């Protein structure tokens, strides 16, 4: 979702939530989704100048007992939350990319048959954008 002209990310999120509430949407709580990027460790690439692969590890408050891993151009893995512990043990194969954790936090709304989630996307301490999900 683009940020409104002349407004900050937070002001735009507040504007969207006010519009939803004016339409009659009811707050249903909050949500959080985070994603950390891992890259193939240099020791596993060999000497042929191969490009490293990326893997994204995600957590979603809607699925508190699960962890999701998405391989670049490959499969998606659903595991329990202890997958993060496994990633620490696999540091010889996958290394966390520096300053790569991105997070979306916001409010869930119910509007008729729709679930609408409006959140602020942050990377580190700074707001980077706005996410809007409609189911």
Q: Is 55 exposed, middle or buried (0-12, 13-18, 19+ CB in 10 A)?
A: buried
Q: Is residue 35 part of a domain?
A: yes
> Contact, 116 vs 103, CB < 8 A?
no
* Whether residue 24 has pLDDT greater than 90: yes
Number of structural domains in the chain = 1
What number is the average pLDDT over the span 101-123? Answer: 96
Residues β-bridged to residue 7: none
Return the pLDDT at 53: 84
Task: Establish if 1 belongs to a structural domain.
Answer: no
Cα–Cα distances (Å) from 67 to 3, 12, 18, 89, in that order, read 30, 30, 32, 16
What ranges make up the beta strands (E) of 1-135?
Answer: 26-40, 54-60, 66-71, 76-80, 94-96, 102-111, 114-123, 126-134
Q: What is the pLDDT of residue 58?
A: 96
Domain ranges, residue 120: 9-43+52-134
CA dist 43 and 50 (Å) reads 11
For 43-99, what is each residue's pLDDT tens digit? 665 555 566 788 999 999 999 999 999 998 888 999 998 898 888 888 888 888 887
Task: In whole angstroms, give the CA distance from residue 29 to residue 24.
Answer: 15
78 part of a folded domain: yes
* Residue 106 within a domain: yes
Counting residues of the chain whose pLDDT is more than 90, the rounded percentage is 64
Residue range 94-120: mean pLDDT, rounded: 93
pLDDT of residue 48: 57
- Do the domain assignments include residue 4? no
CATH number of the domain encompassing residue 91: 2.40.320.10
């Amino acid at each position: 979702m683009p940020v409104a002209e002349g407004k900050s990310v937070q002001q735009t999120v507040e504007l969207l939530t006010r519009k939803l509430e004016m339409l009659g949407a009811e707050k249903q709580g909050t949500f959080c989704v985070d994603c950390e990027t891992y890259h193939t460790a240099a020791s596993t690439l060999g000497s042929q100048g191969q490009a490293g692969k990326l893997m994204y590890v995600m957590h979603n408050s809607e699925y508190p007992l699960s962890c999701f891993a998405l391989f670049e151009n490959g499969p998606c893995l659903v595991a329990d939350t202890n997958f993060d512990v496994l990633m620490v043990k696999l540091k010889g194969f996958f290394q966390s990319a520096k300053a790569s954790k991105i997070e979306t936090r916001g409010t869930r709304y119910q509007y008729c048959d729709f679930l609408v989630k409006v959140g602020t996307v942050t990377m580190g301490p700074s707001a980077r954008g706005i996410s809007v999900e409609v189911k």
